């Protein structure tokens, strides 16, 4: 296990990028770091004692619309529809997924407090059947800024 290096959710992100390109949605950047000003390192602590960093790297950012989009894998973020707990090492995985959820909540709240709008897209929402609804969510979020600005 220790020699397996994480590659993130690259396949899921690339599918999402293809979906954005097919819909001709532009103005996005991948993995743009957003510093959480006013938050000192170590001030946010998870239930297991882990400290969160004062910066966030959403999977996709629409800077002009101040929209951050996170593409979450169903297994790693505990999708209520798709997640199935592994039979082995169940305590470890329960803790791991719970911490990921806590980090998601922390990042979402921190960005919203600083004026960003946040969308979380689950991996299962990228399926052929559900992708039109996902695109409508994104278009609606982008359209809200165009009309209000």
Each residue of 44-101: pLDDT tens digit? 666 666 777 778 999 999 999 999 999 998 888 888 888 888 889 889 999 999 989 9
Residue 17, in any domain of the structure = yes
Residue 74, in any domain of the structure = yes
**CATH code of the domain covering residue 114:** 3.40.960.10
Q: Are strands 117-122 and 29-30 parallel, antiparallel or unpaired?
A: unpaired
Output the pTM of the full model: 0.82
Domain that holds residue 103: 10-148
Residue 123, in any domain of the structure = yes
CA nearest 104: which of 39, 58, 35, 36? 58
CB burial of residue 77 (10 Å; 0-12, 13-18, 19+): buried
Residue 4, in any domain of the structure = no
Q: How many domains does the chain have?
A: 1
For residues 2 and 114, give the distance between their C-alpha atoms in angstroms, rounded to a whole number: 37
């Amino acid at each position: 296990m220790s020699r397996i290096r994480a590659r993130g959710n690259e396949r899921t992100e690339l599918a999402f990028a293809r979906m954005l390109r097919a819909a001709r949605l532009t103005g996005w950047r991948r993995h743009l770091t957003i510093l959480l000003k006013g938050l000192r390192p170590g001030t946010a602590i998870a239930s297991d004692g882990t400290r969160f960093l004062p910066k966030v790297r959403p999977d996709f950012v629409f800077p002009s619309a101040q929209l951050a989009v996170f593409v979450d894998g169903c297994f790693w973020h505990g999708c209520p529809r798709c997640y199935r707990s592994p039979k082995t090492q169940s305590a470890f995985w329960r803790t791991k997924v719970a911490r990921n959820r806590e980090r998601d909540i922390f990042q979402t709240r921190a960005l919203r407090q600083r004026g960003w709008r946040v969308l979380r897209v689950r991996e299962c929402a990228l399926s052929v059947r559900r992708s039109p609804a996902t695109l409508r969510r994104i278009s609606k979020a982008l359209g809200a800024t165009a009309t209000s600005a």
